Amino acid sequence: GQNIDQPTEMTATEGAIVQINCTYQTSGFNGLFWYQQHAGEAPTFLSYNVLDGLEEKGRFSSFLSRSKGYSYLLLKELQMKDSASYLCAVSDSNYQLIWGAGTKLIIKP
């Protein structure tokens, strides 16, 4: 079967760096997405990786290793507003999105 694994919850300190991991086993691969979802709000797109390597967007970076079935989202200079759930999703061979259960990130002052 197809599966996406990510930690259920993580805690980090304001100003620090946190890495949220995502591992996947899917039928084919057409890219990996990260979305951010604040409580009670819509998920919003953060990043898309289809080739191996690191993509940087301001304080957020996303890394992909297709051979290892692995990605991470790196958040630097954490702010209280970064407290949210982070959803990992993979587009499979049929371009269907397979979703992880999300990682709830708690930022402490």
Partner 1 sequence: ETGVTQTPRHLVMGMTNKKSLKCEQHLGHNAMYWYKQSAKKPLELMFVYNFKEQTENNSVPSRFSPECPNSSHLFLHLHTLQPEDSALYLCASTQEGMGSGANVLTFGAGSRLTVL
Please report, as ranges, the residues that interact with partner 1 according to CB under 8 A.
Answer: 4, 8, 30-31, 33, 35, 40-45, 48, 50, 87, 89, 91, 95-102
Kindly state the smallest distance separating residue 59's Cβ from partner 1, in Å: 20
- C-alpha 72: how far from chain center: 6
CB of 40 to partner 1, least distance (A): 7
Q: Considering beta carbons, is residue 33 or 72 the nearer one to partner 1?
A: 33
Residues 73 and 55 sit within 8 Å (Cβ to Cβ): no
Q: Hey, what are 109's tokens?
A: 């002052």
Least distance between partner 1 and beta carbon 45 (Å): 5
Which of 23, 21, 45 is CA-nearest to residue 34?
A: 45
